Structures are given as structure tokens and as C-alpha cells.
Amino acid sequence: MHSLLNGHDTCVVMPTGGGKSLCYQLPALLSKKTAIVVSPLIALMQDQAAQLDQMGISAAVLNSSVSAEKQSLLIDKARKNEYRLLYVSPERLARADTMDWLRQVPIAFFAVDEAHCISEWGHEFRPEYRQLKRLRTSFPNRPIAAFTASATQRVRHDILNQLQLRDPDKYIASFHRPNLRYLVRECSGAEQQELLLAGLREHRQSSVIVYAPTIDAVNFTVNFLESERIPAIAYHGKMEADERRRNQERWMADEVRVMVGTIAFGLGINKATVRAVIHLSLPKSIEQYYQEAGRAGRDGLPADCILLWQKRDAGLLAYFIEQVSDQAEKERSWERYHTIRNFVEAKACRHRYICSHFGERTKWETCESCDVCGVLPEWLGRNESRAGRKPRSSRSFSVPSAERSAPDQVQIGTGGADSELREYIREWRREAAKQQKVSAFVVMHDSSLDELCRVQPLTIPQLLQVHGFGQRKASIYGEQIFAALKRFRGGARAVTAPDKNNSR
């Protein structure tokens, strides 16, 4: 933050959930000028702008989803310095007309999010990011900051060169996530299904992400889980945008606990309470796996990263690599393949392997938080009799007995908060989010919801003591929250059950 406020180019590498957004949002607010944030994700831009608006911070989004009329109004306001943050897609920033009117905007600095996309050595290379080198020539006096969660030393050097950063301040956080438990298991197809069920039942009271390799695999997995009485919803690139967003919203609001998606799901997802991420195939790279697995445990509490892979996954990856026509890209793909293959077959600490891959030297040999170091939960223990055995369907992904009104409305431990009150306030949050057409976490994060249930404020000053509530948010929701708490004390309870017809 000090680097940006002092006008220095900056390179920041922090893990998922490490606070990268705050690193450019707060300096933008303090600078009294406009920070231009480059992001490849429309949904992420919209959610961040909505969150800032809830805090009374002026922000706007400029991308293909914005109408021409609204774009003209937005550009006019930007020229008048009415925004603290302006989110722009790399494609839009590459246009000559964008560069022209940006010169009339009082710019504090440029923040390039997901900066690894600029490097061909990165796992998510996007050619349009290469155009960002024009920022230096078009705005030579404005600082540029690059942010990423997953960049090796080679990719970091490429980022510095491509963006032409001048003697940048570098902040490289540790890649060690000690609260995550890495569990890797090679298995057969039938064994994979049973282990998936066992893992989900182990985390039956929690939010879980399941990554499947293809759209067909996503749909098959959702149908399979529902046949086992585990409510799940799908997310993949061929779904209509409204359906994807609706499913994401339902998962974010805990209406359904299990999200099954392709790699299209997860970028920019701001949910801190994911207790498990389960991969059903071999990822293409360590970087991809680290980023996806890192969506678990963002609240710092223990979480499981479970990789259930099959030998055929390696064959499929090899087949697709051979289809790559560009020789340089094929070599990079083979390098990523051998690295991820070594990771899953390694007999050394998995945390240490990941840190070493990103250029971090560790002083410890074992982590006590991965399967190689001897941490193997009972449900994942090797049992050859599993193979070929049909998965059981007698258990449900929900607490037994009449404690529930719907299979996926599972009570979660809240560290002292009344579970019925939590569900009631969660229901209120869903409705408030729908009315404002924003994500549920924009209204209130889960951590704030838990604290609200413990404190049960009666006045605005008391509400301001709840983490996540400032003057702006308290003025928007305060009276509604007090009314909801009063209804609960009067006997009201959560009654909304998820709409099963919209489950996928």
C-alpha cells in the first residue's frame, strides 16, 4: 500500500484469500484519484464494484456487459474524477479509443489483477494481456502494480518484463498454507465414486467444491450425487450466463452445499468457509491445482484439498499435449505435465513440494498436514476391497432425524451462535441480496453473519462493533437487521427451502 501511495511500481504475489484486493482498493481510496483495475473476469469486477458501493466507495465496471449508453455516462464521470476505482477488461483497455479518453482521467495507478495471464509460461496465458505493455508508453508517469496468487520465479520475471515495471517493489508472500490438508489418491473409477461420497459425507455440514474435468463429467457427477441423496449443482462454460450466476448464488448463500464445476468455476469466488475442494482428475499444472485447491480454508480454519486421480487422466493430458501445434507451447505443456505428475506420485511432503515449485525454500522436512507425512483420514485409508464395489446409498448428505425441513439445510457449527438464528439471518440475507441484485456475500460475509448472531445488536452503535459493518452498510441494513432479530425473538424461523427445480 505504501509503495503504491508513494508512486512505485509494485509486484505482489499472495495466495488466494491473502488480501490482494485490499492492497489496491485502500490506496485508491486514500489517493483521491482513480485507480484503473485490469481484470479478466466480468463476474469478479461486478462483485467487487458492488461490495465497494455497499461501503460507500464509488466504483464502476467497463466491459462488454455494459450498454453503450451506460458506457458513455461512465466515461464522462471518470473524466470528472467521480470514481475511486474503475474496473476494465484487458480487451477494452487494448482499444485505442479507451487509451484516448483515459488520458483525460486523473489516474492514481494501474492495478493488473491475475497478472500471471501475461506470461506464456503461466498456466492461464491470455494473449490480450500482452497489450498491457502499452500502459507504460501511454502513461509513463503512472505507477503499475501487478497482482497474482500463483506465479513461479520464471513467470514473475516475465510479468516484470512484459509490463515494463521500473525497479518495482516486490512482495512475495509464503506459498505455505498450513491450514490446508493435501490428500492425494490414485484410484479406479468405481473407487473414485465411493471416495467422493466418503469425502462429501465427511464434510456433510460444509461448503464443498468438486472439480470435474469435462462438462459431461460435471453433469454425470451432479446426477450421481443426487441419486445418492446429496444435493449438488453444476457450473460450466456451456450453461447460460444467468443460470451459472444463479447456481453460483445458491451455493454462495448455502442453499446447496456442493458445487460441481469445471475449471470455469472459482476465479474471484470470495467464500471464506469452503471446507473441502475435491478434484476428480489430474490438473494440468501445479499452478492450476494450487489456485483451485486454495479456494478451501480462506478463513484460516482447517480444510481438505482432496485429489482423486486415475492413470487415464495422465494419458488424456498427454494426448491433448500432442495435439498442440506450437512447438514452444507443447514444450511448456510437457514441462507442466511432468511437474504435476511428479507431485501426485511424490513420496515427499506435498506442502514442501509446492513451496519449492514456486521458488520458496522451507526449513522443515515434514508438514504434518498431508498424506505423505502420515496424515490420512480414516475414510481415505487404503482399502483394496473398495475397488469395484457399488457405492452405498443408505446415507444422506444431511443430518438425520426431523431436525431439518430439506435434505441440504444442514446446521453448521458457528462457534456459539444459535444455529436456528443463523439460518434465519441467512434467509434474510438471501432475500436482501435478491432485492438488490447482488451476491449474498456482498450484503454480509459469513464471518460477519456469525458475529451478528452472537452479538445480536439492538442499536446502530452496537451493529458498528460487528466486523464488516461500517457507517454506510449499517445505514443500509441496520433497521432491516433489527427487525429480523425482533421477528426471531418473537418466534419466527427460517422456512425457505431450496427450489429443487433449479438445482442444475
What element of type H or E holds 477?
A: helix 471-489
For the record, the C-alpha cell of 441 comes out as 456475500
Helix axes 446-455, 419-436, angle to 10 degrees: 130
CB atoms within 10 A of CB 94: 16
Question: What pLDDT is stored for residue 157 in this prediction?
Answer: 95
At residue 226's C-alpha, the angle toward residues 378 and 297, to 5°, is: 50
If DSSP codes are grouped into helix, strand and coil, which group holds residue 72? Answer: helix
Which pLDDT belongs to residue 411? 33
Q: Are 191 and 458 in contact (CB under 8 A)?
A: no
pLDDT at 410: 31
Cβ contact 52:59 at 8 Å: yes
Return the pLDDT at 496.
Answer: 54
3-state secondary structure of 275: strand
157 within 8 A of 275, measured Cβ to Cβ: no
Residue 383 has a pLDDT of 44
Please give the full DSSP string across 409-438, using - where no structure is assigned: ------TTS-HHHHHHHHHHHHHHHHHHTS
Going by C-beta distance under 8 Å and a sequence separation of 6 or more, which residues neighbour residue 127?
none
| d(C-alpha 210, C-alpha 205), whole Å | 15
290 phi and psi angles, rounded to 5 deg: -60, -40
Each residue's pLDDT tens digit, 331-385: 999 999 999 999 999 899 999 999 999 999 998 888 989 999 988 898 987 543 3
Q: Is the C-alpha dihedral spanning 290, 376, 414, 481 positive or negative? A: positive
Of 354 and 437, more confident: 354
CA angle 307, 313, 319 (to 5 degrees): 150
Phi, psi of 74 (to 5 degrees): -65, -45
Please report the pLDDT score of residue 447 as a whole number.
83
- Rounded to 5 degrees, φ, ψ at 390 are -70, 130
- More confident: 277 or 442: 277
Best CA proximity match to 113, nearest among 200, 39, 53, 223: 39
* pLDDT digit string, tens, across residues 93-125: 888 899 999 999 999 999 999 999 999 887 788
pLDDT, position 391: 40
Identify the helix (H) or strand (E) that includes residue 351: helix 350-357
String of DSSP letters for 376-400:
--GGGS--GGGTTPPPP-SS-SS--
Query: What does the pLDDT look like over 231-284, one tens digit per residue?
Result: 999 999 899 988 988 898 888 878 899 999 998 887 667 788 899 999 999 999
pLDDT given for residue 268 in this prediction: 63
Summarised one tens digit per residue, pLDDT across range 400-430 is 332 333 333 333 333 444 889 998 998 999 8
- Smallest CA-to-CA distance from 105 within 12, 35, 19 is with 35
Question: In the prediction, which pLDDT does 385 show?
Answer: 38
Q: What is the pLDDT of residue 267?
A: 65
Tell me, what's the pLDDT at 17?
75
| Domains of the chain, start order | 2-172 (3.40.50.300), 180-386 (3.40.50.300), 419-497 (1.10.150.80)
| DSSP 8-state assignment for residue 125 | -
Q: Is the pLDDT of residue 499 over 80?
A: no
